[in-house]
Amino acid sequence: MNSNVSFRDFATPTWILIAVGLVAGGAVGLYEMFFGHLFATNNALVWTLPLVVYIFLALMSTGVSLVLAYGLIMKDASITQHTRPLLIMAIGLLLGGFTALATELGSVLNLVWILLSPNLSSPIWWMGALYSVELVLLIVKLVMDLKGRHGVFDMPLAWGTLVIAAAAAITIGAVFGTVIGRPDYHGAFLSIVTLVSALVSGTAAIVLLRPQSALTETAGRIFRQTALLFAALILMRVAYEAHSTVAGMLGWASIAMLAPFLIAAVLFTLAPRLLSLLGILGVLWVQYSFIITGQLVSLGQTAHWYGAVQSYQPNLAEVLVLVLGIAVAAALIKLGEQFLIERRPAA
Amino acid sequence: MGYGMVIDQQLCVGCAACTIACKIENNTPVGINWCDKITRTTGKFPDVRYEYISTMCNHCDNAPCVAACPTQAMHKDRQTGLTLHDPKKCIGCKACIVGCPYGVISVNWERPHRHWAQRDRLAEGCFSPREMVEESGGEGSPHGNPERGTTYPVVRPAGTVEKCTFCDHRLAQGLAPACVDACPSGARQFGDIDDPNSEVSKLVARHGGQGLREHLGTRPRVIYIRDYKPQRRFEPARPAGEGQGA
Ligand code: SF4
Ligand code: SF4
């Protein structure tokens, strides 16, 4: 525990920005949960930017967990040296995602039924269960690290996190991939997209938020490889959509989506943090595109109400949920860094 | 035993009496219709065709909404074949809406019928919306049907979803769904579609028929029989030369 934290540590531009984000986004979140409806949704387009924010942050957290688990299993010192900050980062990002999700759920108090009346055929149930277990594992690891308890449990916990995190990312894809009658969602491909995008955004977040030479080198290497893999996946999807004759398929992939990943992977060494940020924005673009596009074709009677194909632009309230999710994650990461990581005096 | 509905497209006149009857019976709020329509216009003038397909929850045997629901709020009643919803268990995740390939589930984004809670009067001496609700003794709105409340809340909670129940409260009393009773042309028939000797099964056996998007494997319990075909075309005989030139 770091006991040298003072008020001055919070009087920084970063904390002021975080506070503004928490207040503005928090106001929207509370209003949406308890008073009225602000989001640009309707009965045919129900999952909009707030859900994208949850998936974006949860997958980024998954990516960080996967890198950490890999480092612990492979005994890669460039990663294991940063175990605590990486745990804090993964927990902060996941809780930021959960915050965005809470604004999106209609009835948060009824969440108890997830435990009392689980439906094992529901990918959403599995997603919730896996991410809850993932959060518990991360917290257990953090507590053990804080108490300096290392030993026999380290390896099983690392393997557990690896398996749970990978399964959670795949399950997010299955939430969409198991849907029938919506051609832009259907298929196992989306689980591959979510798993790889977790790795791209997670490694990019490590490079962006924890710029330490050896760690940047390791995480940067994985980032470049997975960014190229992601670009290849999107290219495959573009080719598939171009040749698809499936009725009702709009197509969510475009050639332009390759650019952020190719640029970031090829030019990475020139400006690692800037290009990591580009990779993160690219991932957000892809996730936003597939989640929204899958709902744009109105089904059945909803075509009468909203037109055969809808268009969607996030409104200010939804953008503020994006701000809220990022602000919660940033606040938790900063708090963790300030309170739980000993600062060494400058040499 | 499993309930099902047969809709005869040859008899349906597209009057939407079913939609209105459902709205009144089930107290659905503004912007939510449990029973609604799909319309299709196909062909090229003068060979155009307009189809009116009355639509509601199909109470699918293999219901994707039920498979998607994380809390079993959306569930199958094995005795009746109905797909029902328990608002107490609903967390408003909307997975059922994304999962249903028919677009028949709606969300209560806000408290339903909230406009009826207003106390402002339009003019002195008028009732305010709230006073009208109090005067009529309705729940939520003046037309809140208390019988609806025997199996499902008359006013559903904000943040949860809702959809057609095949009027399970009426079925429990031995009555047909409200839309069936309201149909002026007898286009809607209701009964035990799992019993080959029921009227609905005989209709399907006689005319064939199919559910919507059956290729998805959902096994819907609403079956449409016969396409509308004009039986007699009215062509008035015109005296030669009339209607020509101007
Ligand atoms: S029509 Fe939709 S809501 Fe009704 S049972 Fe089938 S999938 Fe579920
Ligand atoms: S919105 Fe309610 S009924 Fe629909 S899937 Fe979620 S919990 Fe189930």
Token pair in block for residue A76: 């890669």
How many Cα neighbours within 13 Å face the side chain of B240? 0
Q: Which residues line ligand 1 (CB under 6 A)?
A: B 57-60, 63-65, 83, 100, 102, 104-105, 163, 218
Q: Using alpha carbons only, how large is chain B's radius of gyration in Å?
A: 21
- Tens digits of residue pLDDT in A269-282: 999 999 999 999 99
**Residues composing chain A:** 347
Is the CATH number 3.40.50.300 carried by domain B3-112+156-232? no
Q: What is the mean predicted confidence (pLDDT) over B65-79?
A: 97
Q: How far is the CA of B144 from the centre of ligand 1 (A)?
A: 25
- Per-residue pLDDT for A344 more than 70? no
Residues 6+ apart with CB under 8 A from B64: A179, A180, A181, B99, B100, B101, B216, B218
For residue B94, give the ligand 2 atom closest to its CA. 1
DSSP state of B210: B
What amino acid is encoded at A180 in this protein?
Answer: I
Cα A147 from chain centre: 28
**Interface check A277 vs B, CB under 8 A:** no
Residue nearest to atom 6 of ligand 2 (CA): B93
Which one of the ligands is nearest to B159 CA?
A: 2
What are the distances in angstroms from CA A7 to CA A13, A75, A345?
13, 38, 19
Instruction: Say if the Cβ atoms of B104 and A122 lie within 8 Å.
Output: no
Predicted model pTM: 0.93
Specify whether the backbone of A97 is left (phi greater than 0), alpha (psi in -120 to 50) or beta. alpha
Q: Are the C-beta atoms of A300 and B212 separated by less than 8 Å? A: yes
Q: Is the peptide bond before B220 cis (omega within 30 degrees of 0)?
A: no
Instruction: Say if the Cβ atoms of A106 and B91 lie within 8 Å.
Output: yes
- Restricting to A residues 33-62, those with a Cβ less than 8 Å away from any Cβ of B are 36-37, 41, 43-44, 46-47
Predicted confidence band at B41 (pLDDT cuts at 50, 70, 90)?
very high
Quickly list DSSP for A197-222: HHHHHHHHHHHHH---HHHHHHHHHH
Residues of chain B with CATH 3.30.70.20: 3-112+156-232
Domain boundaries, chain A: 47-340
Of the candidates B70, B88, B109, the beta carbon closest to that of A128 is on B70
Burial readout A99-128 (b: 16 or more C-beta within 10 A, e: otherwise): bbbbbbbbbbebbebbeebbbeebbbbbbb
Instruction: Say if the Cβ atoms of A114 and B71 lie within 8 Å.
Output: yes
What are the distances in angstroms from CA A134 to CA A137, A138, B61?
5, 6, 35
Cα B221 from chain centre: 13
Token pair in block for residue A64: 């960080």
User: How many CB atoms neighbour CB A238 within 10 A?
Assistant: 18
- Tens digits of residue pLDDT in B163-212: 999 999 999 999 999 999 999 999 999 999 999 999 999 999 999 999 99
Token pair in block for residue B159: 């943040």
> Span A47-340: which CATH code?
1.20.1630.10
Nearest to B109 by CA among A316, A106, A101: A106
What distance in Å separates the CA atoms of residue A208 and residue A327, rounded to the nearest whole number?
Answer: 16
| Residues paired with residue B188 on neighbouring β-strands, in sequence order | B7
Three-state secondary structure readout of A291-309: HHHHHHECCCCHHHHHCCE
Q: How far is the CA of A238 from the centre of ligand 1 (A)?
A: 32
Q: Are the C-beta atoms of B101 and B213 separated by less than 8 Å? A: yes
Strands B222-225 and B3-8: parallel
Predicted confidence band at A141 (pLDDT cuts at 50, 70, 90)?
very high
Residue nearest to atom 7 of ligand 2 (CA): B90
- Tens digits of residue pLDDT in A12-36: 999 999 999 999 999 999 999 889 9
Token pair in block for residue A54: 């949850």
Instruction: Say if the Cβ atoms of B90 and A175 lie within 8 Å.
Output: no
ipTM of the shown complex: 0.93
Residues 6+ apart with CB under 8 A from A247: A183
- Per-residue pLDDT for A6 more than 90? no
* pLDDT value, residue A150: 81
What distance in Å separates the CA atoms of residue B242 and residue A318, rounded to the nearest whole number?
Answer: 64
* pLDDT value, residue B152: 97
User: How many CB atoms neighbour CB A9 within 10 A?
Assistant: 15
